[in-house]
Amino acid sequence: MKENILVVDDELGVRESFRMILKDKYNLFIYSDGKDALEFVKKHRVDVALLDIRMPKMNGIDVLKKIKGINPDIQVLMVTGHATLDTAVEAMRFGAFDYIYKPFDKDKLEDLVRNGVKRRKQRIKEKKELKHLEIVKKDLDERLQKAYSSTVESLMAAVTAKDTYTSSHSEGVAEYAMLLLEGLNLDLSSEDKEIFRYVCTLHDIGKIGISERILRKKGKLNKEEWKEIKKHPEIGASILQPIEFLEKFIPMVLYHHERFNGKGYPEGKENGEIPSWARILAVADAYHAMRSDRPYRPGMGEKKALEQLKAGAGSQFDPEVVKVALKLFKT
């Protein structure tokens, strides 16, 4: 199949010269006006365009820019009898692949058009290969994400086996966190909301690295045990880090035990330094923990737990999040 060559030049003699030289090898579409040529480009395949720079209604640089806007794969050769270095540089900057002077040499013109055709074919080939690679990469990423997510869920099951409280706690925290998210009217897509909820259920996954003896201890933790338990946010964040689609929300796992006044862990962040997701999770986590029965204490009633949240506003918790919690956590 012959390639389609577009010629735009306001001089009849030049147009006829192009016709005589190129007609046997290519399909030629010849115009004297840039606007008419652009209408053709919108509706038909063009492999190479030959554009005169100086034309009365629309100059070649303007036609070049519009052609590239319609289809950047079209290879454009600029033609002029008034060449200057500045004009050449401008043409190349806007996407022309080369430049030829009038009166042009027949062999030179044929070489340049042939080169343009090759460049066009190479560009199309590269785009197809890139698209194929993107499809392959997407498929691989999805499989890796699925495999890794399954691994994470298996780890969460292992945590639950070590500490049965963790499973029900994680689900309960996610419920409260979603209520807070909606109450704060944060602008999140439905997909992000689902990911947020998923990460909430995994916020204590780092406990996989904590001794079962410590997790199940009925009395208060001693200094060394407390030092050990404080490692779980960092362990959890490091477990989730390779899962690309969770990236936006992983900091809330790392920082959900930070305090608004900077006296939390693991980094002692304060106020706005703590990501908003972590500030939401901190309130949901604390409230569910207070309401739950534990081996070393019974769960608090709703009123007392809400009073504890209110007392911690501005010190342990973000006061804006607590304000929403006080409205929404009442049964």
Instruction: Give the residue among 236, 222, 232, 35 at the shortest CA–CA distance from 152.
Output: 236
Judgement on whether residues 255 and 318 belong to the same structural domain of the protein: yes
Judgement on whether residues 200 and 249 belong to the same structural domain of the protein: yes
Please enumerate in sequence order all residues whose Cβ is within 8 A of that of 144, keeping only pairs 6 or more positions apart, or say none: none
Q: Is residue 137 part of a domain?
A: no
Domain count, the chain: 2
Q: Is the pLDDT confidence value at 245 over 90?
A: no
Judgement on whether residues 253 and 295 belong to the same structural domain of the protein: yes
- Scanning the chain, the segments in alpha helix (DSSP H) are 12-22, 34-43, 60-70, 85-93, 106-162, 164-183, 190-201, 212-215, 223-229, 232-240, 250-255, 276-291, 302-312, 319-328
Judgement on whether residues 47 and 172 belong to the same structural domain of the protein: no
pLDDT at 277 (0 to 100): 94
Q: Is the pLDDT confidence value at 158 over 90?
A: no
* Residue-wise pLDDT tens digits, 52-89: 888 888 888 899 999 999 999 999 999 887 656 677 67
Q: Is residue 265 part of a domain?
A: yes
Overall average pLDDT of the 291-303 stretch = 80
Q: pLDDT confidence of 165, banded at 50, 70, 90?
A: low
Please enumerate in sequence order all residues whose Cβ is within 8 A of that of 8, keeping only pairs 6 or more positions apart, or say none: 30, 31, 32, 33, 34, 37, 49, 50, 51, 52, 55, 60, 63
Picking from 131, 148, 180, the residue at the C-terminal end of a domain is 131
Q: Is the pLDDT confidence value at 232 over 60?
A: yes
Tokens describing residue 249: 């929300």
Judgement on whether residues 309 and 233 belong to the same structural domain of the protein: yes
Q: Is residue 27 part of a domain?
A: yes
Q: Which of 31-35, 71-75, 105-109, 155-159 has the lowest mean pLDDT?
A: 155-159
Which position has the higher pLDDT, 171 or 163? Answer: 171
Quote the CA–CA distance of 124 and 153 in Å, as a whole number.
Answer: 43
Q: Is residue 156 part of a domain?
A: no
Q: Identify the three-state secondary structure at position 238.
A: helix
Judgement on whether residues 113 and 178 belong to the same structural domain of the protein: no
Overall average pLDDT of the 23-39 stretch = 93
* Residue-wise pLDDT tens digits, 134-152: 787 777 667 767 776 676 6
Q: Is residue 153 part of a domain?
A: no
Quote the CA–CA distance of 167 and 163 in Å, as a whole number.
Answer: 8
Judgement on whether residues 32 and 85 belong to the same structural domain of the protein: yes
Instruction: Supply the range of the domain harboring residue 72.
Output: 4-131
Neighbours of 9 (CB within 10 A): 26
pLDDT at 325 (0 to 100): 95
Judgement on whether residues 126 and 240 belong to the same structural domain of the protein: no
Overall average pLDDT of the 198-225 stretch = 86
Q: Is the pLDDT confidence value at 295 over 90?
A: no
123: domain CATH number? 3.40.50.2300
What are φ and ψ of residue 182, in 5° steps? -70, -40
Q: Is residue 157 part of a domain?
A: no
Q: Is residue 254 part of a domain?
A: yes
What share of the chain has pLDDT > 70, as a percent? 91
Q: Is the pLDDT confidence value at 217 over 90?
A: no
pTM for the model: 0.57
Picking from 73, 107, 131, the residue at the C-terminal end of a domain is 131
Q: pLDDT confidence of 109, banded at 50, 70, 90?
A: very high
179: domain CATH number? 1.10.3210.10
Active site residues: 207
Q: pLDDT confidence of 167, banded at 50, 70, 90?
A: low
Q: Is residue 281 part of a domain?
A: yes
DSSP letters of 90-146?
HHHHTTEEEEEESSPPHHHHHHHHHHHHHHHHHHHHHHHHHHHHHHHHHHHHHHHHH
Give 99's strand partners: 78
